[in-house]
Amino acid sequence: MIIFVAGGWSTSSQTLVYRLEDFYKTKSYDLKSGGGVGQLSIRVKTLKLLKLKFYNKIGKNLIFSQHLFPTKNALDLLDSWFGLDNIKFIVTYRNIFDTINNLLKKKEEVNSFQFLRSKFYPTYENFDISKYGINILDALMLVNFYAMWFKVEKENYIKNLQFISFDENTRDIETVNLKLSKFLGNEIKLKDDLSGQIYKKKQFELKENLKIFLKEYSESFVDIDFTRIGL
């Protein structure tokens, strides 16, 4: 079986991956081409790909995990390597304003925003973010991540697709087990005492114009329902 966890940012996706690794007794892989904007595309070295294909051929369970955007290039590569219909995609999601709150906590810690970074200087020093309180590119990419996956779901472009919410994954493991048992075709019993990175609690006052902007931006996707992420 091939499972690809396409985690939304700050959605407890790493917790889900740890639990899947424990259940299937294997380690996960990522195929991202790098950090930041490297999440937008996938890349794998030839020897690693050969190893993964061999594992798949002999029936070894494969788990992939990254903030995968379902772009044409990424899906075409996955299709050529493994066959798209052979991959079970799990997308994790969360209220977008809770995600932005955690991005602001990360900004305080490392002074860099999510997608464009520099090794020479703290990236937030190079951008005026006073209007919205966060680099707007981060927020827009969050909306586009969900817009793309919700579109894939709505049009049934990928037949093996399951959504898991942050609240389910952190507070209702039984619902996750039931969903994944049906989705993956065998009885799943994940351990709720395994978890990934946990952010220290801190609540930021998000700027009202940021909320208005994201709501208006999301409404430009006229055929997509964003209510699951609070828009």
Name, in order, each residue with C-beta under 8 angstroms of 19's C-beta and a sequence gap of 6 or more: 190, 191, 192, 194
Q: Using an 8 Å Cβ cutoff, are 15 and 170 in contact?
A: yes
Encode the chain (231 residues) as per-residue pLDDT tens digits.
999 999 999 999 999 999 999 999 999 999 988 777 777 789 999 999 999 999 999 999 999 999 999 999 999 999 999 999 999 999 999 999 999 998 888 777 777 777 777 778 887 777 767 788 888 888 999 999 999 999 999 999 999 999 999 999 999 999 999 999 999 999 999 998 877 666 677 888 899 999 999 999 999 999 999 999 999
CA–CA dist 193, 217 (Å, integer): 38
What values do phi and psi take at 110, rounded to 5?
-120, -5
Which residue type is seen at 153?
A: E
3-state secondary structure of 182: helix
**Neighbour-count burial of 192, counting CB atoms closer than 10 A to its CB (0-12 exposed, 13-18 middle, 19+ buried):** middle
- Report all structural domains of the chain as residue ranges with CATH numbers, in order of start: 2-229 (3.40.50.300)
Cα 152 from Cα 70, distance rounded (Å): 8
- CA atoms of 198 and 49, how far apart (whole Å): 32
Could you tell me the two tokens for 169?
A: 């994954």
Cα–Cα distance between 213 and 227 in angstroms, integer? 16
